[in-house]
A and B are shown apart, each in its own frame.
Chain A
């Protein structure tokens, strides 16, 4: 492929992914709200509600507070939205290979996941509001808190794949080609199930949803990080939130549920792409339901001090137990 072809593919792929992220992200937010409403015995808003909200926000006045730093205040939402779209480019969507193909691996994605959060922190500090400042400080604490269990999960998976003789265990293609469940014995399956649960519990913190939304805490911090944002900028954060939901669910799907329908049922390539895509969406919805909607409806918010001990202590220990099981499983064959 010539350079022009590659550039064209990347540009078109990025645009397609941005469109997909926008539509799927807002839809998943709508479905989440609808499901949460049903769980609370309400009817809930229509599924297209987030689209209406964004359309309205784009019409609103864009207020910049007097003691804000304007360029940073305006840049933060753009960076947050753009960086979430960027992560999407590294993730396989159903049978469709990621746009940036083999260029990135799991470690890169774990790092990229911090960029939207850091953009929100920068925006919060740039707002010049005490509420936003406290929110930004909390966001940084939470960022450091969930990093440990997330890193344990990622390392455990890659280590087990390497122990099973897979070359380049951190690459998503290798993970997709060797579903982790098939590699291990019963002990390892328990270990991976634990890691899957941990990833599901890291998701709400990454998305700042209840019970880990101490940085936005409407009742104490009046919206925290986002307190000063209105209009277009707030709409960008809103959309980034939707895309991030898709990213986290797609990451869990890519690592733990990488199967495609076309692996099991024979079909022509054209049908396979559509079927795999639909199957991928179903898996994403399932993961989003369990890791976002169900947790957020059934829990109250943790205090910021509790969040750190929950992640470092409880999920850290749980992750190490999972890692230990996987290590034992790897050596069980040798003994």
Chain B
């Protein structure tokens, strides 16, 4: 799709570069705490549960469930002027549902609470690879 102006590109910070490199490679990568095993996202140095700073990046399956969703009608950024109405999901990832990601919905019909979805990787008008979500039957 052509947008009137490019969509905002992800502005990686010094913590998040490995995450966005993973997205470019078609993977959802999060940190796993080496001490307590807790998954952590967005990226940061310290584990919010055990305060260990040792962690290892691992790829998620990309499976999740819809926690909530909105349908955007009002245009808050000119890049989305031709895209309204569009549906944005808040997705709880299967491996650890308190990790929740915002992303666009690529599917027919209204989303539903608890609906199974999976991550798909889409190159946006900003040139960056982004994470969208599509229904995952069964």
The answer to whether A and B belong to the same complex is: no
Which chain B residues have a beta carbon within 8 Å of chain A's beta carbons?
none
